[in-house]
Amino acid sequence: MLDEAQKQIRQGEELDLSSLNTYLNQYFQSTEALEILQFPGGHSNLTYLLRYGNRQLVLRKPPGGAKHIKGGHDMKREYRVLSLLIQAYPKVPQVVLFCEDESIIGTEFYLMERIEGVVLRSKKPSGIELSPDFMRHLSLTFVDNFIELQSVNVFDSQLINLGKPEGYVLRQVEGSLQRYQNVATEPIAEVNQVADWLKAHLPNETRVSIIHNDYKFDNVIYSPDFQEIRGVLDWEMSTIGDPFADLGMVLGYWLEPGEPNLLGTWATSLAGAFTRQELLEYYEQKRQLKVHNPVFYYALSLFKNAVVAQQLYYRFAQGFTQDERLGRIGPFVRGAFEYAWQVIRAGRLSKL
C-alpha cells in the first residue's frame, strides 16, 4: 500500500546511472551501489527513488523541454523553499543536496530524504473500506492539514522572502495568460474571456500566507493507517500571497460526482467526501473568517490549471517528451477553459 516507485522508467526519462553513482560516491565519500526507480505520479517535474546502500533518497529534476517553458521547474528555488519551510512546518522532506552541474544527469537536480507512507493517486488503495465515514475522515484531515500549513508565520520563518505578496492575484492572472500565449497551439476564445473577467473582479488582498499552489490528494502522504498526514510534496510552484487563492486551487482539484474526471482522481467524489461548498464552509468555520467571492478564486484555479495542462501538452507536441499521458491532455484543454467560463457565468461552485 505504500507509495512505491517502479523499476521501469518511462522512455526518454532515464538517468545516467554510472555518472550519478560516481557523483554520489564522491559527495558521500562512499562506494555504495546505486539503484534508480521512478515514482509513477506527476506530470511536471520528474521524481525518482534512489536506493543507495542503506539510504533511500528522492531525486527531483526538471522534465524534458523545461528550458522552453518559462516560469517553472526551478530546482534551486524548490530546494530553498523546503530548506526554509521545514523549520516552521515539519511535514516536508529534509533536503540533502542541490546540484547545478548539468553534466551529471543532463539537468540540475536536488536530493531529499524519503517520507514513507500512502499517496492517494489514481488507483484506489486495496484492503481499505471506502465507506462514507472513511471518506469524511480523509476530507477533514486533508483540510485540517491545509489550514495548519496556512497558519505558518511567514515573517518569523523568513518565508516572506520567497515572494512579493502585494498584487499576487493580478500577477497570477497576467502571468498565466502570458504562459498560455507562449505555448498556445490553437485559438480558444474563452482564454481571454476568463482572463478579462478575472482582471475586472480582483479581490482585496488583506492576508498573506505560504502558497503551495498544488495542494491535492496525490501530493500528500498519509500514514499507513490513514490517521495522519506525514508529509506534503511538490513545492515547485509555492510562493507567498493571498491564502484564499490557494484555497481556490484546492477547490479546483476537488471533483464532485458526475463531473468529467480528467485528473484521474477518485478521493473527492465518493460518498462521504466533502462537496466543494462543504469544504468552503468547513474552512471558513475552522479559520473563523469569511471568504468573499469564492467563485473568483475557484475560476482563477480552473484558469491556471487549464494553462498548466496546455504547457504539459505543448511539451509532448514539440517532442520534448514521449510521455503519452501528456499527449492525451491536448483534446481536453479547450473544454477546461470553457468550463472556467461556465463557472463564471453560473456564479456558483457546484451543480453547473
CA distance 233 to 215: 8
**Maximum separation of any 2 CA atoms in the chain, in Å:** 62
Asked if the model's pLDDT at residue 134 lies above 50, the reply is yes
Beta-carbon contacts of 344 under 8 Å, excluding residues fewer than 6 positions away, are 194, 197, 295, 299
Question: What SS3 class is residue 44?
Answer: coil
Residue with the bigger pLDDT between 63 and 188: it is 188
Confidence at residue 67, expressed as pLDDT on a 0 to 100 scale: 56
Residue 262 has pLDDT above 90, yes or no: no
Looking at the predicted structure, is the pLDDT value of residue 31 above 90?
Answer: yes
Give the confidence band of 68 by pLDDT, cuts at 50, 70, 90: very low
Give the CA dihedral 65, 70, 71, 77, nearest 10 degrees.
60
- Report the distance separating Cα 6 and Cα 350, nearest Å: 37
* Secondary element (H or E) of residue 309: helix 294-317
Q: Is 83 exposed, middle or buried (0-12, 13-18, 19+ CB in 10 A)?
A: middle
Q: Of the CATH numbers 2.70.150.10, 1.10.10.10, 3.30.930.10, 3.30.200.20, which one belongs to the domain with range 17-113?
A: 3.30.200.20
Average pLDDT over residues 94-106: 97
Alpha helices in 184-262 (DSSP H): 189-200, 243-253
Confidence tier at 4 by pLDDT (50, 70, 90): confident
Residue labelled with grid coordinates 473568483? 296
Residue count of the chain, please give it. 352
For the residues 22-49, what does the mean pLDDT come to? 90
pLDDT over 60 (residue 66)? no
**How far apart are alpha carbons 100 and 305 in whole angstroms?**
29
CA distances (Å), origin 273, targets 33, 126, 132, 143, 277: 45, 18, 7, 11, 11
Write the DSSP symbol of residue 162. G
Percent of the chain with pLDDT over 70: 95
Lookup: cell for 264: 484521474
Report d(CA 306, CA 251) in Å as an integer.
Answer: 14
Does the pLDDT of residue 85 top 80, yes or no?
A: yes
Confidence of residue 3 (pLDDT cuts 50, 70, 90): low
Average pLDDT, the chain: 91
Domain boundaries, the chain: 17-113, 132-346
**Predicted confidence (pLDDT) per residue in 279-320, tens digit:** 999 999 999 999 999 999 999 999 999 999 999 889 887 888
pLDDT at 1 > cutoff 50? no
Return the half-sphere exposure (C-beta side, CA atoms, 13 A cut-off) of residue 325: 14
132-346 CATH pick, 3.40.50.1970, 1.10.1200.10, 3.40.50.300, 3.90.1200.10: 3.90.1200.10
pLDDT band at 43 (very low <50, low <70, confident <90, very high): low
Task: Report d(CA 295, CA 292) in Å as an integer.
Answer: 9
